[in-house]
Structure 1
Amino acid sequence: MKPACRQMIDLLAAVSDDQLADPTPCTEYGLGDLVEHIDEVARGFTGIARKDGGEQATAVRGPDLAGGPRADVAKRVQVLGESWDDPEAWRGTTDGPGVELPNELWGKIALTELVVHGWDVAQSIGRDVELPDDTLKACLDHVAEFVPNAPIPELWGDAVQVPPGASRLDRILAITGRNPFR
């Protein structure tokens, strides 16, 4: 989780105010909206990890989208990574938005959010995503099994065909409905 969090923190720091209205590969969000969604993801999944409903994660509430680097959101992303370092975070079950899942699965969903939306942000600001192979392997193993059978399938777009030899990141993106081959 932490490498994906570090990547997201670096990307958030690179977003400028004049880019907030830019489109993203996540067609339902402009870049500013996507930053707000990442903030919600960080707060929500920190709450799941800490089993506290997100109270501690909301101490620095609401992204400052007009103040240069997205420091508040980045802080919450850092807390997210730290929260899932605790082995207890991965145990038990938690009722999320309309579905109760094992925390181990919630953690994998959080990782997927960071990896996929990290790529969305990177594409919007002209950056590359660089994640360790073990992070990408964990995410790919998750999405390959979970996304086709997801309890809320409309959260992802239709899968995109991948050419032979596609990278792990490209396969993750394709399974979740992104087209990294454009």
Structure 2
Amino acid sequence: MKTISELLEGAAAQAVPVVRGIRDDQLSFATPCAEYDVRDLLNHLFGVVANFRLLAAKQAVDFAASPDVVSGDWRGLFDDETGALARAWAEPGAEEGVTGGMGMPARTVGLMVLGDLSVHAWDLARATGQDYRPDPDAVERMEPGLAELAPTAREMKVFGVPFPLGPGATPFERVLAVTGRDPGWRPAGR
């Protein structure tokens, strides 16, 4: 079974090309996350990556802070930051015990960031007309974990109402649906 770090490396390998493929003129495009345009979602994702890197080290985090990092070489920075995230989860003890401010089992928290990285990469790809294929090992591990976390995530307003799926949905479509996303989402008018 792969470690959280190995799963994050696989998810980052799929997410980085999506972020690198976002053009500056697409930063104001709508995303499947109604409250975020592409720029806002990128800033959110940068914050998630930074905070969950700290959580791997059992440090406290501030999820309320959301600086605008979409300037300069933000595409290269994303590559660097996701690499640092995977390395943080590879440190001895990162997957053991309870994380800092969240007070949750470390493995659960690692699967949460795996889900965020994978789902938001899909959000960004859909918003900007790019292809995205999630890492299959990541999907296999995050699907049951996110389904288990879903009721709490809905109470915290992190997940939306589950999207209804028909038979034959793929595992990643089920991941998207449990977070409240329509796997068939396309931007209006494009």
**Alignment counterpart, residue 21 of structure 1, candidates 25, 28, 33:** 28
Q: Deviations over 1:20-60 (max 9, x none)?
A: 11110011111001110111011100001123447xxxxxx
Root mean square deviation, CA, Å: 2.1
State the percentage of identical aligned residues: 31
Q: Deviations over 1:144-170 (max 9, x none)?
A: 111124484311110011110101111
Q: Which residue of 1 aligns with 2:3?
A: none
Provide the C-alpha distance between the structure 2 equivalents of 1:95 and 1:51, rounded to a whole number of angstroms.
4
Instruction: Note if 1:48 corresponds to 2:72.
Output: no
Q: Pick 1 or 2: higher relative contact order, CA cutoff 8 A, min separation 6.
A: 2
The alignment partner of 1:45 has SS state of helix
Instruction: Note if 1:86 corresponds to 2:91.
Output: yes
1:64 shift after superposition: 4.3
Instruction: Note if 1:167 corresponds to 2:174.
Output: no
Q: Which residue of 1 aligns with 2:5?
A: none
Q: How does 1:4-83 map to 2 (within 5 A)?
A: 4-53=11-60, 64-67=69-72, 70-83=75-88
The 8 Å contact of residues 119 and 176 in structure 2, kept in 1 or not, is answered as yes
Q: For residue 160 of structure 1, what is the amino acid of its counterpart?
A: F
Q: Which residue of 1 aligns with 2:139?
A: 136
Which range moved further: 149-158 or 36-45? Answer: 149-158
Q: For residue 4 of structure 1, what is the amino acid of its counterpart?
A: A
The 8 Å contact of residues 154 and 161 in structure 2, kept in 1 or not, is answered as no
Structure 1 residues without counterparts, runs of 5 or longer: 55-61
TM-score by length of 2: 0.83
Q: Which residue of 2 aligns with 1:57?
A: none
Structure 2 residues without counterparts, runs of 5 or longer: 1-7, 62-66, 186-190
Provide the C-alpha distance between the structure 1 equivalents of 2:50 and 2:69, rounded to a whole number of angstroms.
15
TM-score by length of 1: 0.86
The count of residues paired between Structure 1 and Structure 2 equals 174
